[in-house]
């Protein structure tokens, strides 16, 4: 170098390397004592930094840069900038997993290359995957046409909840709810129908789902009646089907609180007949018929009352008692009812009643 030079540059050096410098002043054939110094080049930053998030961890991988390095330092910061982790790694390490993180949370990962007291860093951001809500329920609360979805909020961060109610044959009902929401009510639904609700925890473009099913209560049958057939030996129950869905009907015949008949019939059936003799029915006694519409675990019951026709009395005998009275005798048939006694004369009728237990 010329005598006026006060600096010099060295190029194509190896990153992260300590160099020894010797500067010697010369004049003619005279040489001064050398001045010695050391200097290090900064290490090169890593390349190909990749972050692989799950709900509770971040997988970090990279490729070392050229040159020398003494080790790596892995820094993890939360969204507000606070330092969460500071991990020292050997120079041969090219990946590391950061565990026990919060779901749905934005983190900044910095990989620092260290050599000779110098550093070079590169950073990247990633969001851990959200987790699903817990204790998701879809309940009818006794309603024919509404369902209530409820849940416990997801742990960690959530931008919004995407809620969708689906069933066969109908368009989905979709809702977008704020992160503090824990329930939503869907109305205008079909009685007795099975529905599926999906609640998605959303953070940026990532979603995690929870699914539950529920069913509305089926509707009751209408125009329910129970009548005796013409010959009085049997009874017939008839009804009109309810609106909505059903899986089957359950037909019951009750004598007070005692069930004499309990049968499941197809959802296509509109009537049910049974013999009075086979069930030991008493003519003239009042019975209660119930038709329950069943759908899943839910049922809805309508009821009516009816009776077999009472049997006529037998061996009717009318006797002359004296000038002013008549005796009427008969044999009572088995059954219940009211006996009407009538006497007609001269266009006038006198009627009395006796109740037969």
300 is written with which tokens?
Answer: 């809805």
216 is written with which tokens?
Answer: 């509305």
Comparing 26-40, 104-118, 202-216, 255-269, the range with the smallest average pLDDT is 26-40
Q: Which pLDDT score is estimated for 333? A: 60
**How far apart, in whole angstroms, are the C-alpha atoms of residue 133 and residue 149?**
12
Mean of pLDDT over the chain = 89
The answer to whether the CB of 261 falls within 8 A of the CB of 236 is no
Nearest Cα to 311, choosing from 343, 272, 277? 277
DSSP string, 175-200: EEE-TT--EEEE-SPPTT-EEEEEEE
**Res. 21: pLDDT tops 80:** yes
**How far apart, in whole angstroms, are the C-alpha atoms of residue 86 and residue 47?**
20
Render pLDDT for 246-289 as a digit per residue (tens, 0 to 9): 999 999 999 999 999 999 999 999 999 998 888 888 888 899 99
**Res. 352: pLDDT tops 50:** no
CATH number among 3.40.50.300, 3.30.360.10, 3.40.109.10, 2.60.40.10, domain 134-215 = 2.60.40.10
Q: Which pLDDT score is estimated for 79? A: 86
Render pLDDT for 336-346 as a digit per residue (tens, 0 to 9): 555 445 444 45
Half-sphere exposure of 136 (CA within 13 A, CB side): 21
Domain boundaries, the chain: 1-129, 134-215, 222-307, 314-356
Name the DSSP class of 25.
-
Q: Is 222-307 CATH 2.60.40.10?
A: yes
pLDDT band, residue 315 (cuts 50/70/90)? low
Q: Which pLDDT score is estimated for 243? A: 96
Query: What's this model's pTM, rounded to 2 decimal places?
Result: 0.78
Judged by DSSP in three states, 277 sits in: helix
The answer to whether the CB of 196 falls within 8 A of the CB of 212 is yes
Q: Higher-confidence residue: 60 or 312? A: 60
332 is written with which tokens?
Answer: 């009572």
**Res. 356: pLDDT tops 60:** no
**How far apart, in whole angstroms, are the C-alpha atoms of residue 241 and residue 245?**
10
End-to-end CA distance of the chain: 136
pLDDT band, residue 313 (cuts 50/70/90)? low
**How far apart, in whole angstroms, are the C-alpha atoms of residue 111 and residue 159?**
28
Render pLDDT for 113-123 as a digit per residue (tens, 0 to 9): 999 999 999 99
**How far apart, in whole angstroms, are the C-alpha atoms of residue 95 and residue 50?**
9
Q: Which pLDDT score is estimated for 318? A: 72
- CB neighbours of 346 closer than 8 A, spacing ≥ 6? none
The answer to whether the CB of 232 falls within 8 A of the CB of 217 is no
Q: Which pLDDT score is estimated for 311? A: 67
Fold match between 1-129 and 134-215?
yes
Q: Which pLDDT score is estimated for 233? A: 80
Render pLDDT for 144-180 as a digit per residue (tens, 0 to 9): 999 999 999 999 999 999 999 999 878 899 999 999 9
CATH number among 1.10.3720.10, 3.40.50.10170, 2.60.40.10, 1.20.58.740, domain 1-129 = 2.60.40.10
Q: Which pLDDT score is estimated for 241? A: 97
Q: Which pLDDT score is estimated for 58? A: 97
**How far apart, in whole angstroms, are the C-alpha atoms of residue 250 and residue 263?**
6
H helices of the chain, in order, are: 276-279
- Please compute the mean of the pLDDT values over residues 304-311 and round it to a whole number: 83
320 is written with which tokens?
Answer: 């002359």
């Amino acid at each position: 170098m010329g005598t006026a030079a006060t600096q010099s540059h060295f190029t194509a050096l190896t990153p992260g390397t300590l160099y020894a410098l010797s500067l010697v002043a010369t004049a003619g054939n005279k040489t001064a004592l050398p001045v010695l110094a050391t200097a290090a080049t900064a290490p090169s930053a890593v390349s190909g930094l990749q972050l692989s998030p799950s709900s509770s961890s971040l997988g970090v991988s990279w490729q070392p840069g050229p040159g020398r390095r003494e080790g790596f330092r892995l820094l993890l910061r939360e969204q507000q900038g606070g330092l969460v982790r500071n991990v020292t790694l050997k120079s041969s390490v090219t990946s590391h997993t950061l565990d026990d993180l919060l779901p749905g949370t934005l983190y900044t990962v910095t990989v620092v290359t260290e050599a000779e007291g110098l550093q070079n860093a590169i950073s990247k951001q990633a969001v851990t995957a959200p987790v699903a809500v817990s204790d998701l329920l879809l309940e009818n609360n006794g309603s024919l046409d509404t369902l209530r979805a409820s849940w416990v909020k997801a742990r960690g961060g959530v931008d919004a909840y995407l809620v969708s109610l689906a069933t066969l044959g109908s368009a989905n009902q979709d809702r977008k709810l704020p992160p503090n929401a824990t329930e939503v009510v869907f109305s205008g639904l079909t009685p007795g129908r099975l529905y599926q609700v999906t609640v998605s925890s959303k953070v940026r473009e990532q979603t995690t789902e929870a699914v539950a099913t529920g069913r509305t209560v089926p509707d009751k049958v209408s125009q329910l009646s129970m009548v005796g057939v013409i010959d009085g030996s049997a009874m017939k129950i008839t009804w009109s089907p309810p609106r909505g869905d059903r899986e089957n009907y359950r037909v019951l015949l009750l004598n007070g609180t005692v069930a004499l008949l309990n049968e499941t019939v197809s959802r296509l059936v509109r009537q049910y007949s049974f013999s009075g003799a086979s069930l030991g029915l008493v003519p003239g006694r009042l019975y209660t018929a119930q038709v329950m519409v069943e759908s899943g675990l839910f049922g809805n019951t309508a009821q009516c009352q009816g009776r077999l026709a009472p049997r006529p009395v037998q061996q009717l005998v009318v006797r002359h008692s004296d000038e002013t009275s008549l005796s009427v005798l008969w044999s009572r048939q088995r059954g219940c009812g009211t006996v009407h006694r009538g006497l007609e004369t001269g266009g006038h009728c006198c009627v009395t009643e006796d109740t037969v237990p």
